[in-house]
Amino acid sequence: MRGAALWAAGAALAFFLTAGAFLFLANLATGPAAEDLPATPARGKPGPALDLDLNRDRLSSLEPAPDQELLLTVENAGGKDFSNVNLTLEASSEDTANPRSRYYRRTLRDLKAGDRIEVSFLLDLSKPPEGSASPTATDEQSEILEIRATTPEDVSEVRTAILPL
C-alpha cells in the first residue's frame, strides 16, 4: 500500500513539473500585446511596374474558331527599363476530363519606362474533334486564358480571363 502511495505521489509530482515546464516555455515565446503592433504602418510598394491590359471588347468577340486575334497591351509603368519582357499565353479548356492546352509565346525587347506596346496573339479556339469530347461535356464550354509576363529584372504580372464559347 505504501508503495502505491509513493508511486502516485511521484507520478503527480512528475506531472506538475512537466506542466510547469511547458507553461514556462510557452510564456517565453509571447510578449506583451503592445509590442506586437508596429508603431507606424509599413509602407507598401507602389503598384505593379508591369501592367497587362486585355482588350475586353476583343475578348467578348472571340469565337470558337481558329485564328482568333487577341490584343494585349503591355505597359512598363515603373521607373526602370526592361531588357525584355517574355509573354506566355496559355489557352486551356475548363473541361478537366478532356484537357487541351495551347501555348503561345512572344518576347518584347527593350521596353522603356512609360512605354505601352500592343501585342497580338492568333489563338486557336476551335472546339476539339467530336470523337475526343467527353460524354458528359455540354455544348457550352469555356476557355481559360492565362497571360504571364516576366522579365530578367524579376518583375512579373499575370492576367486570367475566362471565355464562354
pTM of the model: 0.65
Confidence category of residue 45, pLDDT binned at 50, 70, 90: low
Alpha carbon dihedral 136, 138, 139, 145, in 10-degree steps, equals: -110
Question: What average pLDDT does the segment 53-57 reach?
Answer: 86
> Under a CB-based contact definition with an 8 Å cutoff, are residues 58 and 70 in contact?
yes
The CATH number that domain 50-128+140-164 falls under is 2.60.40.10
pLDDT of residue 98: 75
| Higher pLDDT among residues 83 and 133, named by residue | 83
The reported pLDDT for the residue numbered 49 is 86
Average pLDDT over residues 45-58: 79
- Of all residues in the chain, the percent with pLDDT exceeding 70 is 81
Domain ranges of the chain: 2-36, 50-128+140-164
